[in-house]
Amino acid sequence: MQYKNSVLFLTALSVGSAVARLHGHDRRHAHAKVGEVVQKEEAQVAAPVEQKIAELEQRDEVYATIDGVLESWINNWAVQVDTATSTSTSTSTSIYVAPTTTTAPIAIFTSNPAVESTVTPVPTSTPSGGDWYETPSDGEYSRSGFGGSTASQSTGSLDWDYIGNVGSPWGSNIIQISESVANQYKHVLRFEGSSSTSQTVVFWNTYGPNGKMDGFWSPNKALEFTLEPNGVAYVAIDDNSQGGWAAGSDSVPLSGIGEYAGTWGEFDMSSEKNDGYSGWDVSSIIAQLAGLDVQGMRICNHEGEMCSSIATGLSSLLNAYTSADQGNPSLAVSQAEGPVRLVVNLDWS
């Protein structure tokens, strides 16, 4: 997705392979712009993850297409391993990857702590009446069940250096709700499960609980639930939240280095940086780079419009990102300021 004064949508940032594709939405035109980082040698992208990690201490030439301009720099990867204590008091190992130039973005990935939202879902005992996709007549939206909203911040000058609301405690900006109260919330997603298999869904904020761009790495999760075949679930997302979700039969697959590697749904809800615009898309980039089967997913508004989809096995595509589309500036869907009502079809074909 395209952006100018933008909020990120992120679909790949892999230590060792240095593969990144970020996309957001333009606050004026609601189009797409892509910032991507790829290795110069395609063979490095396709190499096994173990080989990537073994090659961390090497000198790499990296290309980045940022705001439509192709740039390059030299990364001399140096690895430092340290330990930290998570909020769950478990010990974690962090890998810090430091390039020799400050022109490239620096990312710190934490393989642990295991952070999960502890927010209790909104109870089902107070039905509001009306269909789930309706909105309050007074324009006042419920925040029941959400944690505190965190203030946005910028960690640098690049587009993806923006951190929006991640909830306080972390992950409490994304909650599961009942159908009976769904129409009282501003941003609502209706999940419709597979016709044949149970589906586990994991949500994350793009930025993790330690303020690093690692929210999409296991075991971090803002919300997790399982849909039985043909099951339905509703999720509400707070203002100025950026993140995504992935699904899988029984569990969400992981890449060899710990990223959630199912087909991704990505979201940006009422972005403060983009004058209230929201956006969404489907992406199979991580699944393909990890060499995994691509499971289908479709996201449309409740009227069946403004869709982004990938059918199982990449048999069809619409406004969605694959590994072949990393440089395409015209993908993804965005909407002007206002409530969002989306239907997400899992295992779609």
pLDDT-derived band at 118, boundaries 50, 70, 90: very low
Determine the pLDDT at residue 11: 54
User: Percent of the chain beyond pLDDT 70?
Assistant: 62
Question: Where is pLDDT greater, at 45 or 347?
Answer: 347
Q: What are phi and psi of 254, to 5 degrees?
A: -120, 150
Rounded to 5°, angle at Cα 242 from 252 and 156 = 120
How much is the average pLDDT of 28-54?
A: 36
Q: Of 44, 112, 53, nearest to 77 (Cα)?
A: 53
Cα torsion for 227, 231, 232, 237, to the nearest 10°?
Answer: 10
pLDDT-derived band at 36, boundaries 50, 70, 90: very low
Q: Note whether 64 and 22 are within 8 A (CB).
A: no
User: 234: Cβ–Cβ under 8 A, 6 or more apart, which residues?
Assistant: 132, 176, 177, 178, 179, 182, 188, 189, 190, 191
Strand order from edge to edge, sheet including 108-110: 79-85, 91-97, 108-110
How much is the average pLDDT of 126-150?
A: 89
Question: Where is pLDDT greater, at 66 or 159?
Answer: 159
User: Percent of the chain beyond pLDDT 90?
Assistant: 56
How much is the average pLDDT of 203-216?
A: 96
User: 148: Cβ–Cβ under 8 A, 6 or more apart, which residues?
Assistant: 167, 168, 172
Rounded distance between C-alpha atoms, residue 253 and residue 263, angstroms: 9
How much is the average pLDDT of 204-229?
A: 97
Distances (CA, A) of 297 to 31, 42, 212, 289: 21, 27, 27, 18
Determine the pLDDT at residue 129: 67
| pLDDT (tens digit per residue) in 77-110 | 333 333 333 333 333 333 323 333 333 332 323 3
